[in-house]
Structure 1
Amino acid sequence: MMVWLLIIGAAILILILQAELKRGATRHERFERDFKADFENIKNIGHHEIAEPLASSMNEALHYEYMEKVNSEFRNKFPRMSQSQASLYWREIQRYLLMASIFKSMEMFNPKVDELWHTMLNHPDEYQQFCKDFAGHEIFHYPSPEPVYKPFERTFFDLCYVQLFSIDNSSLSVWGPFFKEGIGQEYFNEFINKNLSYLKNKYMHQQANPETSRVFESFVSKIKNSKIEDVADWKNLYSYNNDASYAYLFFAQTDDWNYQVHCKHIFGDDIPLPHSHHSHHEGLSGHHGDTGHGGGHFGSDSSCSSCSSCSSCSSS
């Protein structure tokens, strides 16, 4: 009797395993179909003109087979995630890695974008080859044991992001409100007043290749050559192609600290914190400003799941 019970139990277990394998294969096939159908959309990261050389290099370096494999693994971690949601995270990890290839250090402010990065890192040979083909060097991932409040680094992230990429509702849904810690006046003044050599030494990635160096130079030139009369029509300029850089450059040159009232439809509807205009040097020197938690929340998917100024990872 006992033998028969064991045989029956083993048969049931085999049937369960076979059913699970079949479901897994069916799910993987669906993920493959979804990814293939949305691949061209995924590769369009919505960049501004100054980022075009690096966006093109990214397109050439990120191969379909690598991305499809990572995409299936990523969606398996989040079974309820649609491909359209996964595609949005693909857009943002590509934007993030583009910034990380330019600048010495770039903080990560979204847990699911970071999880997609981790999934890419699960294939070290392919990840390293991608980095080599794209940036000429590996883009290293540095985790922290727990999320740390980094308002000054978040402001720098925002400044770089709006100069390089379009901002839309999808951007806000991933990163939360932009410039809620301040417009980054000190950063702006430094880029205006310091020479290119100084700025390269302080901000540009030490392993930047010639193409990346030229993009950094274009980034600096865009800020240095901005004139308030040229960006005063920022509302119409934004409505044309979701380019929020004009709005930033306008308000960085005025004394109007109510920029979020004027730009909440662009940067997100939030109120600047009382400490939002502290010098960025306070936050960059040993992270003296990185204590405690504060600020508003922007949905369950905003950075660190709660605060858009919290970072648990960074690049270098």
Structure 2
Amino acid sequence: MSEIWPVFFIGILLFIVIAALSKVKKRKKKLKLYRIQTPLLIDERHPELLWLETRLTESLSPDFIKKVKSRVLMNHPAWTDNDFDWRLFELKRYFILAKILKTVPMFSEEVDEVWHEMLMFTKDYETFSNKFYGNFLHHTPNMEVVPIPNERALFDWVYLQLFEPTANSRLLWGTFLKHPLEAELLENFRTLSEPSLLELYFKKDEEAEDAQKILVQLLNNDIQQAEFIKQDEDDEPFKRMTSENNHTYLLPAMVYFSMYEAEDYQHEMDHLLPKEASHGSSTSSGCSSFTCDSGNGSDSSCSSSNCSSGCSSGCGGGCGGS
């Protein structure tokens, strides 16, 4: 009998340690407390795309945002105004990506929580969606348990072309540039025509087509630059990033190492990223957006219960009818 007690106490100790580690893992990272002064888009880099921000602002009525904020802070009593404002800021960036790309997985549980609350105001959300997209932007869970590294890589490349990430951006989305671009995607951009690429990777949206063509050209430019660097045989073609926010500087390196050093991609990129930026934690989840004809919009409402179920392995739930 005396031999059982040590085993029993060791079992209790292991249970306590595992429970403590689980709590640490689930603890939300605290956002930096400072005002949002970063523009939604990088205005000096792509001034021709600033209309996207204007159109988004016009489509999201202040009254709608006020109601969403009130509901979010009521359901998340630990959140401050700062917490809501930063999550909404990054959700706006997500909405812009969803106007450009064919599919956009939601890689932040905390940003996604604001989207969930928006969907509770069905009419307001439908009005916003129809104004900005011309149809209803649905929220649907991706039931895959495994991460989506290829889609996260494309998300990162487009995000960093259009937006300047802040410390809070990295806390909410997780570390950028962790995954190489898919070999098939790079080959398609090397060989396929612009119309074919638009059909494969971008949303059918005449209003956004010029922005989509700009992104096609930018990725083609990065591919051509990578091929030139490879021929040049420079041992150190890229230098460590000097500013934590200037991730755009490393996009050619992302393409180069995706093409020629895919197996050592993360190791190579870690040498170029600032130490803080290369060791963040990812909050990848598996929800995404898609649009359909606005005639189905009336079937897209959901209740609190079905918004919080069905995607436990992803971002905590998905709303919207198909």
TM range (shorter): 0.5 to 0.7
1:163·1:245 contact (CA, 8 Å) conserved in 2?
yes
Identity of aligned residues (%): 25
Counterpart of 2:61?
63
2:105·2:289 contact (CA, 8 Å) conserved in 1?
yes
Query: Alpha-carbon deviations, 1:97-129, whole Å to 9, x = none?
Result: 111111111111111211100111111111111
TM-score in terms of structure 1 length: 0.66
Query: Alpha-carbon deviations, 1:173-216, whole Å to 9, x = none?
Result: 0111123232445434432432111111111113x1x2211111
Counterpart of 2:139?
141
TM-score in terms of structure 2 length: 0.65
Evaluate the alpha carbon distance shift between residue 45 and residue 180 of structure 1 in structure 2; reply closer, same or farther with a 3 A threshold.
Answer: same
Evaluate the alpha carbon distance shift between residue 170 and residue 51 of structure 1 in structure 2; reply closer, same or farther with a 3 A threshold.
Answer: farther
Counterpart of 1:224?
220
Shift of 1:156: 2.1
Counterpart of 2:117?
119
SS in 2 for 1:79: coil
How many residues align? The count is 239
1:179·1:267 contact (CA, 8 Å) conserved in 2?
no
Match of 1:264 among 261, 273, 298: 273
Evaluate the alpha carbon distance shift between residue 78 and residue 42 of structure 1 in structure 2; reply closer, same or farther with a 3 A threshold.
Answer: farther
**Aligned residues: CA RMSD:** 3.1
2:41·2:53 contact (CA, 8 Å) conserved in 1?
no
Q: Which amino acid aligns with 1:228?
A: Q
1:42·1:87 contact (CA, 8 Å) conserved in 2?
no
Evaluate the alpha carbon distance shift between residue 175 and residue 154 of structure 1 in structure 2; reply closer, same or farther with a 3 A threshold.
Answer: same
Evaluate the alpha carbon distance shift between residue 43 and residue 263 of structure 1 in structure 2; reply closer, same or farther with a 3 A threshold.
Answer: closer
1:141-220 counterparts in 2 under 5 A? 141-144=139-142, 147-206=145-204, 208=205, 210-220=206-216
Evaluate the alpha carbon distance shift between residue 120 and residue 202 of structure 1 in structure 2; reply closer, same or farther with a 3 A threshold.
Answer: same
CA distance, structure 1, for counterparts of residue 53 and residue 214 of structure 2: 14
Q: Which amino acid aligns with 1:260?
A: M
Structure 2 residues not aligned, in runs of 5+: 1-34, 230-236, 291-322
Structure 1 residues not aligned, in runs of 5+: 1-37, 271-296
1:183·1:252 contact (CA, 8 Å) conserved in 2?
yes
2:91·2:111 contact (CA, 8 Å) conserved in 1?
yes
Evaluate the alpha carbon distance shift between residue 205 and residue 132 of structure 1 in structure 2; reply closer, same or farther with a 3 A threshold.
Answer: same
